[in-house]
Amino acid sequence: MPQSKSQDWLMYSLLIMMMIMLTMIKMLTFNSKTKMKKLHNMKFKKFMKW
């Protein structure tokens, strides 16, 4: 019993690690995209005001 439990814990920890990595990568890419959009919007707004 203890052996299988430890194995399960290992699997769960690995899965969690993978998920965290994926979410971090997604956040990084999403952040860069939004930053670009924000910059573009700022330029556009300035242009509109002008």
pLDDT digits (tens, 9 = 90+) for 3-12: 778 889 999 9
Mean pLDDT of the chain: 82
The pTM score is 0.51
* pLDDT 10s digits, 36-45: 777 777 777 7
Reported as a pLDDT band with limits 50, 70 and 90, residue 21 is: very high
The pLDDT, as a whole number, for residue 19 is: 96
Pairwise CA distance, residues 12 & 15, whole Å: 5
